[in-house]
Amino acid sequence: MDIKQLKSLVAVNDHGSFSAAADALDTVQSNVSAHISKLENELHAILIDRKDGTLTEQGQIVVKRARAALAELEAIYSDLSSLTFDVRGRVRVGLIGTTARWLIPLLSEQISLDHPNMNLHLSEGTSSALHRWLHEGVIDLAILNTPIYASDIHFRALFEEQMVLAVPPHYAVSDKDKIYLADLASIEIITPPKGNWFRDELDAVAAKSGVKLRTKVEIDGLRLIAALAIDGFGPAIVPSTAISAHLGDRVRTIPILDVPPRKVGIAKRKNQIESSAVRAFTISLESLLSRKDIVLPKGVTSSNPQQVSKVSKVSKR
């Protein structure tokens, strides 16, 4: 088997069809088909169901190994380039949407200054999707929030986000500067469904305060919940970064003092061998969040900025 065969298999899996894979690889469909057929002949296995373009059980096994092999090959080029202090290579990063919105512009500028030849591939996803992508090797690292359920994932906190009540101006509590969950006892709010980690945490904190939250509607999706609050459908408890600062005339964000902040950080597979590009990206990200000239969004507090600053300085020696 060769690299083109492995790339073709991964591309078909990622893009859903032979034609889409060909477009992604900048080639023609017949080449992709030929590479897949040769790989199947070598392995004596059918890897792709030609009826719907999905991977067979054998294909699922092979694509996971293929993805890992291709990542290792990229890491070789990246590691060698770093010896000349010119970090090259692709870094695949997954981010939760509320963080991606404000971090990507800052991060892109930082990487272009630190490592202009680094190729960033950024993808947005929910925390559950990012966990899955990490496990499957689709991304090199993720920027997501706790909790981390998988034992094979290492997490390091980058910052904390204050939890706020996003409330339309016409509600009674909208004139407050800070509130507690007890202040919401008589108000119906938009919440995630029971079983969602955030909803369970809210219910636990409310129970300690002797409060039972009243649900207006249950919605599984933080960004949709925030959007509905912005549109005036009802109040919602969300991370501070879920509401853009320029929307202050449409919705107020009031800090909730007895709800713990949300921790957001870097998640990586414990057993992965990082390329120099991934290591350099991590250092640049931590350095960015420790810079005094960077204004973080309201409600965001960098985790241990002094330690981050030391890591950054050591890396530049």
228-278 tens-digit pLDDT = 999 999 999 999 999 887 777 789 999 999 999 999 999 999 888 788 889
CA distance 26 to 148: 37
Q: What is the mean pLDDT of residues 3-7?
A: 89
Residue 287 pLDDT > 60: yes
CA distance 236 to 215: 10
Residue 317 pLDDT > 50: no
215 pLDDT band, cuts 50/70/90, is very high
255 & 277 share domain: no
78 pLDDT band, cuts 50/70/90, is low
Cα atoms found within 13 Å of the Cα of residue 163, Cβ hemisphere only: 22
Can you give the residue range of the structural domain that contains 92? 85-158+263-315
Q: What is the mean pLDDT of residues 126-153?
A: 89
Strand partners, 156: 266
pLDDT digit string, tens, across residues 103-116: 999 999 999 999 99
Q: What is the mean pLDDT of residues 13-37?
A: 89
Percent of the chain with pLDDT over 90: 44
Which helix (DSSP H) or strand (DSSP E) does residue 177 occupy?
A: none
> How high is the pLDDT of residue 84?
58
> How high is the pLDDT of residue 304?
62
> How high is the pLDDT of residue 310?
36
247 & 288 share domain: no
30 & 175 share domain: no
Q: Looking only at Cα atoms, what is the longest distance across the chain?
A: 70
10 & 136 share domain: no
Domain count of the fold of the chain: 3
76 pLDDT band, cuts 50/70/90, is confident
148 pLDDT band, cuts 50/70/90, is confident
Is 118 contained in some domain? yes
Tokens in use for 55? 């991977």
- Give the CATH number of the domain where residue 151 resides: 3.40.190.10
Query: Helices marked H in the chain — which ranges?
Result: 3-15, 18-25, 29-43, 57-82, 97-114, 127-136, 197-208, 222-230, 276-290, 305-315
Strand partners, 264: 145, 159
Mean pLDDT score across all residues of the chain: 87
> How high is the pLDDT of residue 285?
94
170 & 232 share domain: yes
Residue 67 pLDDT > 90: no
96 & 153 share domain: yes
> How high is the pLDDT of residue 305?
55
Is 78 contained in some domain? no
Residue 316 pLDDT > 60: no
20 & 51 share domain: yes
